[in-house]
Amino acid sequence: MTSTTLLFLVIGLGLVAWFFGRLKAASLQSRGPNSRSVLHSLPNYHGWYVALWAIVPAAIFMTVWSFVSPALITDAALTSPAAAQLPTDGFARAAILSEARAIAYGNQVNAFNPLSQSMVEPYREAIAYYQMIGAIAALLMVFACGAYAWLRIKPDLRARTKIERVTMLLLLLASLIAIITTVGIFLSLVFETARFFSMVSPIDFLFGTEWNPKAVAGPRGETGFGAIPLFWGTVFIGAIIAMIVAIPLGLMSAIYLTQYAPAKFRSWMKPILEVLAGVPTVVYGYFAALTVAPALRDFAVSIGISNASSESALAAGVVMGIMIIPFVSSMADDSIAAVPSAMRDGSLAMGATQSETIKKVLIPAALPGVVGGVLLAVSRAIGETMIVVMAAGLAANMTANPFSSVTTVTTQIVQLLTGDQEFDSPKTLAAFALGLVLFIVTLLLNLIALRVVKKYREAYE
């Protein structure tokens, strides 16, 4: 019996358990004095109580068993007579064993090594044996635990409270998964980065100005891992050019939508703007690479900048700015709408015009929220990958000329991790160091932004 079949069987038995639990509880049900139910909980909760007792312990056992059994299976297979012919060399031995195991499980058809073929049969036997043990144990647990819970059903059993607690645990688990995964990613970044820094000095990495990882040869004395040009490129595109585009346009569209637009127009416009935030970035990417970049180069050439590149910081930055507009606009919209209308009325009642009111009262009052929104937008922009991969170029230039090609942290991570990966060479490990820097910077930006926004919210509530 495979583990999938077993799982369905257990769940099926759980449903049966639910039915019997409910049945027993319903049979105990009667109306006491004051027409109060004698059952503490509704029959349904008793059903769930029995079903959970039947399924959960068995499921936990099956999970543990799936980790433990491979080792037991290998041990059992090694006791077979065929195992005596295996080479003692660790590497060759492991290769043969894994091949035999793959054939035994049916993942592979033919053996590359004839020795493996001889091991297949012992493996098959061991697998069948341990699968049966696992299945029998799991089913026994279903019946034992289900029966235990079923016997405990009494009118005063607090089944509802217990189910409530299980639900809470389930939700807690769901919320922890995202956090645990993030922590795991962060730790893996930290470990790989530590390996990278054992080969390349952190000072050279963080403050070096020459980026040329492909040229690196020897395991020691590496150069060409100076990441400053990448940091500059990232800031230049994501925090300078993109924000020069996104902040004024986003802010102005938010002001128009909150202050001037008729309700009907606003009810159309706001969702459309928010849909823009959902356009896949790769679409913006080829828009940047195929439309904006050539147009900008032609423009640059026409005004006499002869060395304009076809992949320019400006093209990537402008398109990224456009991508960020809905984001800035929506944050600014929220903060302007959060300014109490009494403030606006106060200004209008002084005889201020609408634009004076916006300029002198609404924007200053909404500023912290807007700043928070812009910081979040920056953190999105510097982590953005597709647009810069497609439009910004690969040359690690340190230049303030927007028409020249620059490269960013994310672009280089893509470059370093596509193609051959060698996890013992600094070339591949550099990607993790870059990723860690990006992770920390965006994390800090988000933290600051959320704090700013929160503080501001408190001021008006």
Of 43 and 369, the one with the shorter C-beta distance to other proteins is 369
Taking the complex as a whole, how short is the minimal distance between the CB of residue 254 and other proteins, in angstroms?
A: 19
Closer residue to other proteins (CB): 24 or 344: 344
Contacts of 396 (CB under 8 A, 6+ apart): 210, 211, 212, 229, 230, 233, 406, 407, 412
Least Å distance between CB 352 and other proteins? 5
* Residue placing its CB nearer to other proteins in the complex, 306 or 341: 341
> Which of residues 288 and 362 has its CB atom nearest to other proteins in the complex?
362
Q: Smallest gap, in angstroms, from Cβ of residue 455 to other proteins?
A: 13
Q: Smallest distance, Å, CB 273 to other proteins?
A: 22
Rounded Cα–Cα distance for residues 101 and 126 (Å): 10
Looking at beta carbons only, is 251 or 365 nearer to other proteins?
365
Query: Nearest distance from residue 329's CB to other proteins, in Å?
Result: 22
Q: How far apart are CA 376 and CA 264, in angstroms?
A: 29
SS3 per-residue string spanning the chain: CCHHHHHHHHHHHHHHHHHHHHHHHHHHCCECHHHCECCCCCHHHHHHHHHHHHHHHHHHHHHHHHHHHHHHHHHHHHCCHHHHHCCCCHHHHHHHHHHHHHHHHCCCCCCCCHHHHHHHHHHHHHHHHHHHHHHHHHHHHHHHHHHHHHHHCCCCCCHHHHHHHHHHHHHHHHHHHHHHHHHHHHHHHHHHHHHHHHHCCHHHHHHCCCECHHHCCCCCCCCCECCHHHHHHHHHHHHHHHHHHHHHHHHHHHHHHHHHCCHHHHHHHHHHHHHHCCCCHHHHHHHHHHHHHHHHHHHHHHCCCCCCCCCCHHHHHHHHHHHHHHHHHHHHHHHHHHCCHHHHHHHHHCCCCHHHHHHHHHHHHHHHHHHHHHHHHHHHHHHCCHHHHHHCCCCCCCCCCCCCCCCCHHHHHHHHHCCCCCCCCHHHHHHHHHHHHHHHHHHHHHHHHHHHHHHHHHHHC
Nearer CB in complex with other proteins: 109/349 = 349
- Based on CB atoms, which residue is closest to other proteins, 162 or 344? 344
- The distance of closest approach from Cβ of residue 178 to other proteins in the complex, given in angstroms and rounded to an integer, is 37
List phi, psi (to 5°) of 448: -60, -45
Instruction: Please identify, using beta-carbon distances, which residue of 291 and 353 lies nearer to other proteins.
Output: 353
- Cβ 291 vs Cβ 381: under 8 Å: no
Q: How far is the CB of 412 from other proteins (least distance, A)?
A: 44
The residue (of 153 and 361) whose beta carbon lies closer to other proteins is 361
Q: How far is the CB of 453 from other proteins (least distance, A)?
A: 16
Residue 193: half-sphere exposure toward Cβ, Cα within 13 Å = 18
- Closest to other proteins by CB, 114 vs 262, is 262
Cβ 341 to other proteins shortest distance, Å:
8
Minimum distance from residue 376 beta carbon to other proteins (Å): 23
Helix axis angle for 43-78 and 3-28, nearest 10°, is 150
Residues that bind other proteins (CB under 8 A): 262-263, 340, 342-353, 356, 360-361, 364-365, 459
Specify the residue, 160 or 457, whose C-beta has the smaller distance to other proteins: 457
- In angstroms, what is the minimal distance from the CB of 418 to other proteins? 51
